[in-house]
Chains A and B, each alone.
Chain A
């Protein structure tokens, strides 16, 4: 019989109770939430966490017991996640998002926003110029599904009938608003996601969106309905086009990270710019939601062109003020 002294075994005996305690706290935090921890537990948590990290470092350098190192590796990772990957409160993160990080992220992309806006306006101008010159361009630019029967052969009366649709039951309107919203969101997320491909598809899609609108403008202009159409489309169009500009700007930001990552690898550049771009895209989704309600409800309820134009101008002013002004004082 002989006695063998083993540093790693002594080390384990000395520290094991702390590891067990950490395990218990992790189990409580993961199954019942951080609130189930008592004040004492909360005070012990960071101390135990650091003790586990130090145990791991020591075990890696002195112990040849594989099971011990594997256990400590796992325990340290689970403790790390309890400390650093906290559950996030939905309400609080929404407040922070709306009152701070969203407008700040948009301001941080003012150049991308300007380029996207330029692409959109260029599209509108081109579409208007083409159809104004020759209405034969209209069916080329506007797909049949979107035109819904409107085209070079439409008369003034037919177009006017679309513009001054009668108010219907509010249920059907909200249903339509829902449909428009989910449909638009899909297309817009494509504009955003395609930004990874150097931003080219993003710019083309944005330009294409403007092109269709320009074509409609020219069609109505020829029939003396420019004012009526402007009111009909802009009551929700300001918010919808604003959303498209935001999606495109976020997409361009991603494209920029891929094209000129600077001192970083492309992956790291995407990671650095990704969250801000994602926030701007969420802002776009919110604007689409507003646009859908304006289009589905308010446009049907408000029949008067002047009133429609007033709502449009008001929404333009409000959106601009929101993105330009909110959350400035909180910025560090």
Chain B
């Protein structure tokens, strides 16, 4: 529900995630988005579930095969081979997929996450192996310490130790600016979100019905232009209609537009004003005067 409301209000996707830059070898900084800790956790849970399910399936298949071949030779090899395969499914899962799928596992792919080199280079096999081996010590070790050594009767000391260890590891992810897990620190990697954006239509028109003069376009800056872009990209409905009428009136007052605008022309007025304002601001920017927002005059004076 909340996401639906959000995407209606911000058709281009409001960025609430942290942003960072990644420098390509060509020297162009690319904007990257870091996932929320929750997104990473869900991807991780999915991966753990898949790899464990695979291990269990292998074990079951192995036991069935062993049962059928109980009185013949292969029995001797089925069980140990099965155990080894289950062990691999559980432990080599992350490394295998992050190598083969270039930094994604099934869980990460589901959420749209990728592992990339933090310094913009290629993702190396050594980095993938290092970050995933560290996961064993980071996360699985404290859990298995509880499961293996004490069965279900956990001693308070073991619980405290494991809890402390897990807390420290989670704190690392939450506290580092790039949301790095210990394995990312060691592997030199960072996990990013990779949504797929489509190219939305250009709102600027070739020809305009309303004609704005330069003095009409002095009032606003780039920030206001972008807000107007958001409003124009919202789907048409009663609420948007009211919002647009309100904005038309505000703009009229602000720029000193004295001719009345009929209600059915609200959208045309806004589209034309957007086009003229963008053309104007782009020209100003081109000659080196970037008007950040409507307060640009004050910042010039100070």
Contact = CB atoms under 8 A, between A and B. Distances in A.
A76 B26 CA distance: 12
A66 B185 CA distance: 34
B12 A87 contact: no
A73 B196 CA distance: 11
Interface string A1-24: 111111111001000100100000
B242 interface: no
Contacts of A77: 22, 30-32, 194
A174 B99 contact: no
Contact of B80 (A93, A171, A278): A171
A85 B206 contact: no
Given A193-B138, A278-B126, A4 B102 contact: no
A85 B96 CA distance: 15
A189 interface: yes
Interface residues of A, number: 77
Contacts of B137: 189-190, 192-194
A275 B124 contact: yes
A65 interface: yes
Given A8-B282, A81-B114, A178 B83 contact: yes
- Interface-central residue, A56, A87, A185, by most chain B CB under 10 Å: A87
Contact of A4 (B121, B187, B204): B204
Given A80-B24, A88-B99, A278-B186, A64 B200 contact: no
Contacts of A2: 207-208, 211
A317 interface: no
Interface in A37-89: 50, 53, 56-57, 61-68, 70-71, 73-78, 80-81, 84-89
Interface stretch (A216-224, A266-274, A299-307): A266-274
B144 interface: yes
B204 A193 contact: no
A87 B202 contact: no
Given A67-B12, A76-B28, A278 B133 contact: yes
Contacts of A81: 102-103, 114, 116, 194
Contact of A8 (B188, B198, B229, B278): B278
B290 to A, nearest CB: 10
A177 to B, nearest CB: 7
Interface of B: 12-13, 22, 24-26, 28, 30-32, 75-81, 83-84, 87, 96, 99-103, 114, 116-118, 120-131, 133-134, 136-138, 140-141, 144, 148, 176, 180, 182, 185-188, 194-200, 202-209, 211, 222, 225-226, 229, 233, 275-276, 278-279, 281-283, 285-286
Given A178-B83, A254-B186, 4 more contacts: A87-B100, A171-B79, A278-B131, A279-B130
